[in-house]
A and B are shown apart, each in its own frame.
Chain A
Amino acid sequence: MRATTRKALRDLRRQRTQVGAVALTVALGVAMYVASAGAFRNLSTSYEGTYERLGFADVVASGTDPQALADAALGAGAAEAIVRTTADQPMTIGGTRLQGRLVGLPADAHPAVDDVDVVDGDYLSADDPDGVLLEKHAAATFDLGPGDHLQVLSPSGWHEVTVRGVVISPEYLWPAPSRQQVLGDPYGFAVVFAAEDQVRAWSGQGPTEALALLDGTDRTTVIEAVRAAGATDVLTREDNPSDAALHLDLDGFDKMSVAFPLLFLTAATVAAYVLLARRVLSERPVIGTLMAAGARRGHLIWHYVLQGLLIGLAGSATGAALGAPLTVLITKEYTTELGIPDTVVAGHPDLVVIGLALGVVVGAIGAAVPAFVAARTVPAEAMRNQVVLAGQGWWGAAVSRLRVLPATTRMALRDVVRNPRRTLATMLGSVIALVLVLASVGLMTSMITALDAQYGTIQREDAQVVVVPGTTDQVSASLDATDGVTTVEPSLVARVTVSSGDKSYATDLQGFEPGTAMHGFVDGGSDVPLPTDGVLAGARLADLLDVSVGSTLTFTDAAGATSTATLAGFVDEPLGTLVYGTRQTVSSLVADPAEVLLVQFDEGADRSALRSTITTMDDVLAYSDTRALLTMIESYLGLFWAFVGVVVVLGGVLALAVIEVTMAVNLVERTIELATLRAAGVTVRRAAGVLATENIVAIIAGLPFGLVAGFFAARGMLGLFNSDMFIIELDLGWWVLGLAALGVLLAAAASQIPAARAIRRLDVAQVVRERAA
């Protein structure tokens, strides 16, 4: 082995703690990259596998004549096109009344489009007309299996059916009733598949939609064809609420595979740079000697770059080794949790190679500057045993005027510009830590603020009760008389397609009492009244339909009837993009909207008992606990904060790693001064104080940049998730910014401890003797 290689290896071993810290940071970054990018690919492949096997529809068109739409799709080149009936019907499962969805399937054969995968029991049979298939999530929520019973409301009353099988559907991998209700009460929604004839009978509707599978056919052509054939609403695969929700998750993996590794690898690059800069500095006389002997610059550069590469490679090899099994673990856990049947757990050698390369790049970049500095060492200067310092300039002059400060403080303040690169590295440490902390905490605080707004200011009801048409007053009276219920208010809800020009959007139209106590309408932080004429819409509708206040919106109801209303204003709502009007407005826009009673409970009321009481009342069709999501999130809040805690700790560790390494360089630079101070009787505490002051000044100088960068990073991350389903504004309170800054300062303060130890270990006699000779 070459002497230079041996030197490199032994040097790294001598600094194994710091080398280990840098390598670990690289490893974490690479592991995150390999695991999240691999999981993203596996999950995408898993979804696609399920979609392909079960023929997940590419286009779903609804209109008055679905068969004509299916024919049009086939005429435009679709590989398959079918018609079916989908209807939202009240159901009773396990004694709970809820909003169910009936989906029609062929009785004896699997459909060519939007098939189901029977995971328990049997498929439908023409010999068993009352046999149905229950979607897996509902089966799990209500603990039902083959042979169990549930009730479906039909025009003739409640009809008991038997569960023949439990199924997975590509349309409901995530059980969302609509894009407006992606996150909701699991006890408030269930999907039941039944024979098409039965669904038509129970819902009183004919086929409601056409489903097309394209298999390579141009989608735009098919969409244009079905629109020309009279489609009032056309949804693509990406519009499907389940697919959209899952893609939000997938996008999270995708973004995470870039953002977090980038932060860690940047920190590792800085740490590697500082570590090797320190090495070059401490080896300056040796390098000077080598240069005096005529050492070739290229060889010297390679010697130091090699060390960077070894550190990076050690980290990335560890990271890749961790990332590969982590990919498998994440994929399996995720697909199992969601019940995705076609789990693809593949290895991704290219990601491992990229991960390894990332480590190499980190090492090379981190080592490049120190290596070039080493190669540019002027032997004569190196022999003088003096560090070439940057000029003090205006800063030095300004500090000189601060005569009220002790000399040691002035020295520390001047030292801030002594080595600008090191000071910048220290500042960068605080910037990276703040970005990591604020981006994560910002996500969490914004989410909590959004939920508080959604369920505190906007949706003020505790539950929604769907009642038999025409029974609003009776049920309202019964609810009023129920213990635990404080307020009851009638409302109307209708599933509509809103359109303007050639753009349309399927959503819910809700009607409230004028001056409703159940819903707050907020625009730009100010309350807006519910207009008596016209409608309010979620702000995202402006982009979706390219409309503005005063535009005319066209509403198409489930029966295909259309009407128009003026857009009177927008509202800011975190969850979903809905349209609101008074009950009178809604009644005038759609025929037969669902009658829904909005209910508020006493604080501390037993919600489970109230659910049982209300769902057994006469004329109650369905019940949904509005706050189920909030309750669920609050139950997991400890877990969320634990996650935030881990991220904050990681941010602190990153800051510590960078600051610790930069301070080690600081110590090397100033060995003579510190030894001289110690020789003069200056205490370790005072000597360490000089270093600490300099570091803290650099950290404080980095704080404003870190806070600004962290703010924009948090906003950018939130922006990635915003859509018509979620519109979450960044909420980073001053207290969050203050605590984050304080945390970084504490991390910096903690990193002074090893510095004090190093000063205590300083062999004053040796240093003074060597330099005085």
Chain B
Amino acid sequence: MSGRHEAADERGHGATQQAEHGSGDERRPEARPRDGGAARGGVRLADVHKVFGAGDAEVRALDGVDLELAPGSFTVVLGPSGSGKTTLLNVVGGIEQTTSGTVVVAGEEISGRSPVDLAGFRREHVGFVFQFFNLVPTLTARENVEIIVELTGIGDPGRVPELMAQVGLADRSEHFPAQLSGGQQQRVAIARALATDPDVLLADEPTGALDLTTGRQILALLLDLNRAGRTVVVVTHNVSVAQIADTVVTVVDGRVQSVERNDEPASAEAVSW
């Protein structure tokens, strides 16, 4: 993997940051082949702090993060356990409010917004995929996607079969989670995240509970979704996953330690653990 930190390329891929670390290579990365559709999403964080607790129990989960991810980029956030990478993802997704700083996602500034406003923002712009699939056990795969459409009022229920096909589960739509493998459940979770057609797809350890083969399939699916123009951010502690990203952000102790451009992102098949 080769990389640099600089402004986003003119196709919308890449990242800029003011981190002190990283190489000084000025080459622009090769654009990931796109399936069509304009690049959308994009993330910008400026001097973001997130503090949990107070006094002796204070934990600075994010400590002055500056980061810019271009629309349509595929970013992998790496970092050791407790480094703040999940908090970073949550802040970008608007499920965690910042203590201070500015967060702009998909062109909308979300810092300082109320929880209700943030929920509205998420409905319009963000999709989440978690390590544990968190599917409703009493609903079929299709219904697990439909329920998001119902509860958010966003999206078209008629599009659910298409989403199921997109994640390769057209023939498993009527199965309950207990009847699906871990990889299939994660696919359902991805379809669920896509139900509102988000600009930004955020995945927290999406392969953490999966075996290698299944994990590769999920990563390939995420790459496909990125090719459609969505900004994808994947948080993982697995360094190998970084191979497929065009941007790799390393977080340590709540700070961005480096932002590296990967000029030649690998395919999901190259990943191993």
Check if A294 is an interface residue, CB within 8 A of chain B: yes
Indicate with 1 or 0, residue by residue over B206-221, a CB within 8 angstroms of chain A CB atoms. 0011000000000000
CB distance A293 to B134 under 8 Å? no
Check if B100 is an interface residue, CB within 8 A of chain A: no
CB proximity to A under 8 Å, residues B196-239: 196, 204, 208-209
Check if B151 is an interface residue, CB within 8 A of chain A: yes
A6 to B192, CA, bound (A): 17
User: CB < 8 Å: which of A292, A294, A379, A770 contacts B132?
Assistant: A770
CB distance A295 to B119 under 8 Å? yes
B146 — which chain A residues lie within 8 A by C-beta?
3
B152 — which chain A residues lie within 8 A by C-beta?
293-296, 299
Check if B254 is an interface residue, CB within 8 A of chain A: no
A591 to B235, CA, bound (A): 107
Binds B, one of A282-290, A528-536, A704-712: A282-290
CB proximity to B under 8 Å, residues A273-315: 283, 285-286, 288-297, 299-300, 303
Give the number of A-B contacts (CB < 8 Å): 104
A2 — which chain B residues lie within 8 A by C-beta?
150
Check if B164 is an interface residue, CB within 8 A of chain A: no
A290 — which chain B residues lie within 8 A by C-beta?
147-148, 151
Check if A4 is an interface residue, CB within 8 A of chain B: yes
CB distance A293 to B132 under 8 Å? no
Q: Given A297-B119, A773-B208, are A288 and B134 also a contact pair (CB < 8 Å)?
A: yes
CB distance B147 to A292 under 8 Å? no
Q: Given A3-B150, A293-B128, are A379 and B95 also a contact pair (CB < 8 Å)?
A: yes
Check if B90 is an interface residue, CB within 8 A of chain A: yes
Check if B265 is an interface residue, CB within 8 A of chain A: no
B131 — which chain A residues lie within 8 A by C-beta?
773
What is the interface size of chain A, counting residues whose CB is below 8 A from a CB of the partner?
Answer: 31
Check if B80 is an interface residue, CB within 8 A of chain A: no
CB distance B128 to A380 under 8 Å? no
CB distance A294 to B154 under 8 Å? yes
CB distance A291 to B119 under 8 Å? yes
Among B146, B150, B152, residue most surrounded by chain A Cβ atoms (within 10 Å): B150
CB distance B122 to A14 under 8 Å? no
Check if B264 is an interface residue, CB within 8 A of chain A: no
Check if A148 is an interface residue, CB within 8 A of chain B: no
CB distance B148 to A6 under 8 Å? no
CB distance B154 to A4 under 8 Å? no
Among B123, B128, B153, residue most surrounded by chain A Cβ atoms (within 10 Å): B128
CB distance A294 to B196 under 8 Å? yes
CB distance A7 to B138 under 8 Å? yes
Check if B124 is an interface residue, CB within 8 A of chain A: yes
CB distance A294 to B150 under 8 Å? no
A299 — which chain B residues lie within 8 A by C-beta?
150-153
Indicate with 1 or 0, residue by residue over B110-135, a CB within 8 angstroms of chain A CB atoms. 00000110011111101110111011
B144 — which chain A residues lie within 8 A by C-beta?
3
User: CB < 8 Å: which of A11, A295, A378, A770 contacts B151?
Assistant: A295
CB distance B95 to A380 under 8 Å? yes
B195 — which chain A residues lie within 8 A by C-beta?
293
Check if A10 is an interface residue, CB within 8 A of chain B: yes
B150 — which chain A residues lie within 8 A by C-beta?
2-4, 299
B200 CB → nearest A CB, Å:
12
User: CB < 8 Å: which of A10, A291, A296, A379 contacts B153?
Assistant: A296
B120 — which chain A residues lie within 8 A by C-beta?
294
CB distance A285 to B132 under 8 Å? yes
Q: Which residue of B lies closest to A771 (CB)?
A: B132
A770 to B130, CA, bound (A): 13
A2 to B148, CA, bound (A): 11
Indicate with 1 or 0, residue by residue over A7-23, a CB within 8 angstroms of chain B CB atoms. 10011001000000000
What is the interface size of chain B, counting residues whose CB is below 8 A from a CB of the partner?
Answer: 43
Q: Which residue of B lies closest to A379 (CB)?
A: B95
User: CB < 8 Å: which of A6, A283, A294, A770 contacts B124?
Assistant: A294
A2 to B142, CA, bound (A): 12
A290 to B151, CA, bound (A): 8
CB proximity to B under 8 Å, residues A334-390: 378-380, 383, 385
CB proximity to A under 8 Å, residues B94-117: 95-96, 115-116
CB distance A286 to B127 under 8 Å? no
Check if B256 is an interface residue, CB within 8 A of chain A: no
CB distance A383 to B147 under 8 Å? no
Check if B266 is an interface residue, CB within 8 A of chain A: no
A378 — which chain B residues lie within 8 A by C-beta?
95, 115
User: CB < 8 Å: which of A11, A14, A289 contacts B130?
Assistant: A289
CB distance B119 to A294 under 8 Å? yes
B126 — which chain A residues lie within 8 A by C-beta?
292-294
B135 — which chain A residues lie within 8 A by C-beta?
286
Q: Which residue of B lies closest to A299 (CB)?
A: B151
A2 to B157, CA, bound (A): 10
B31 — which chain A residues lie within 8 A by C-beta?
none
A110 CB → nearest B CB, Å:
71
User: CB < 8 Å: which of B95, B116, B124, B153 contacts A292?
Assistant: B95
A393 CB → nearest B CB, Å:
16
A295 to B116, CA, bound (A): 10
Q: Given A380-B95, A773-B208, are A293 and B138 also a contact pair (CB < 8 Å)?
A: no
Indicate with 1 or 0, residue by residue over B61-89, a CB within 8 angstroms of chain A CB atoms. 00000000000000000000000001100
B81 CB → nearest A CB, Å:
12
CB distance B196 to A7 under 8 Å? no
Check if B93 is an interface residue, CB within 8 A of chain A: yes
Q: Given A4-B151, A292-B128, A294-B121, are A380 and B90 also a contact pair (CB < 8 Å)?
A: yes
A3 — which chain B residues lie within 8 A by C-beta?
139, 143-144, 146-147, 150
A52 to B189, CA, bound (A): 73
B270 — which chain A residues lie within 8 A by C-beta?
none
CB distance A293 to B193 under 8 Å? yes
Q: Which residue of B lies closest to A13 (CB)?
A: B138
A608 to B195, CA, bound (A): 88
Q: Which residue of B lies closest to A8 (CB)?
A: B138
Q: Which residue of A lies closest to B120 (CB)?
A: A294
B191 CB → nearest A CB, Å:
12
A773 to B192, CA, bound (A): 22
B9 CB → nearest A CB, Å:
30
Check if B136 is an interface residue, CB within 8 A of chain A: yes
Q: Given A292-B122, A294-B124, A296-B119, are A773 and B209 also a contact pair (CB < 8 Å)?
A: yes
Q: What are 7 A-B interface contacts by the 8 Å CB criterion?
A: A7-B136, A286-B135, A294-B119, A299-B153, A380-B90, A383-B130, A383-B204
Chain B interface residues toward A at CB < 8 A: 86-87, 90, 93, 95-96, 115-116, 119-124, 126-128, 130-132, 134-136, 138-139, 143-144, 146-148, 150-154, 189, 192-193, 195-196, 204, 208-209
Q: Given contact pairs A289-B130, A293-B123, enumerate 12 new A-B contacts (beta carbons under 8 Å).
A: A289-B192, A290-B151, A291-B119, A292-B93, A293-B126, A294-B121, A294-B196, A296-B123, A297-B116, A299-B150, A380-B90, A383-B90
| 10 cross-chain pairs, A with B, having the tightest CB-CB distances, nearest first | A294-B123, A10-B138, A294-B122, A295-B151, A379-B95, A3-B146, A289-B134, A3-B147, A3-B143, A292-B128
